Amino acid sequence: MKVSLFVTCLADVFYPGVGKDTVEVLERLGCEVDFPEAQTCCGQPAFNSGYHEDTKKAAKHTIETFAHSDYVVLPSGSCAAMVHEYEGLFHDEPDWQQKAHALSEKTYEFTQFLVRVLNVKNVGACYQGKATYHTSCHMTRLLKEKEAPMALLEEVDGLELKELPNKETCCGFGGTFSVKMPTISEQMVEEKTRHIEGTEADVLIGADCGCLMNIGGRIERNGQQIKVKHIAQILNSKE
């Protein structure tokens, strides 16, 4: 099965190891992975700020970049959800709307692809520790994927999972929200870190680098001894 990795901006710039782990898990499961070098931002920052004409430029570039891919996999529920927004974005451009639909049909978030396309839940991972999982807003509310990450984590040898209180609440990142409304964002992420600490988990796991960057930054500033890891890092672990 041929898969194209859409690594996303945050993974590319801040978490390159997440991209590496994603590729290694896919390859271990028999996928042939390529990396279209022309890929850029999915356009979500512009879209969320209301600049839809600018978003269309990024969307058209992405559509063309992955036009020949069999499957497109992203280590981000947020960016995967944005790709699925393209079809509505081009409501007044039928030709591009059709191309956007074709891309949407073959685009998956990483855990979603493993469970729903490859039909795999146990990837042979081993991680010794107590963990809690942060359900990111875009992945659960827009992409509507809730089960796949937990199905995979439950099969990780040695991993003890703890339920995160108020898991449905936002961590306060929200892309440009954290920049435009920093005071509110700060209070939201502080509340989130308190809930994480209350689980007594050693590690926080998530599937979106933006959330992990925001929460991880707060955890570090608070001096909390909690590791922060992307789910691809856990699924590629042999600890």
Instruction: Say what the pLDDT of residue 139 is.
Output: 94
CB atoms within 10 A of CB 70: 13
DSSP state of 223: T
Name the band, by pLDDT with cuts 50, 70 and 90, for residue 174.
confident
Q: What percent of the chain is modeled with pLDDT above 90?
A: 93
Instruction: Say what the pLDDT of residue 225 is.
Output: 94
Instruction: Say what the pLDDT of residue 57 is.
Output: 97
Q: Is the pLDDT of residue 239 over 80?
A: no
100 burial level (CB within 10 Å; 0-12, 13-18, 19+): buried
**pTM attached to this predicted model:** 0.95
Question: What pLDDT, in 10s, does the model give residues 99-153?
Answer: 999 999 999 999 999 999 999 999 999 999 999 999 999 999 999 999 999 999 9
Residue with tokens 């891919």: 69
Question: What pLDDT, in 10s, does the model give residues 14-33?
Answer: 999 999 999 999 999 999 99
Domains of the chain: 2-116 (no CATH), 121-235 (3.40.50.1860)
Q: What is the CA radius of gyration of the chain?
A: 17
Instruction: Say what the pLDDT of residue 175 is.
Output: 78
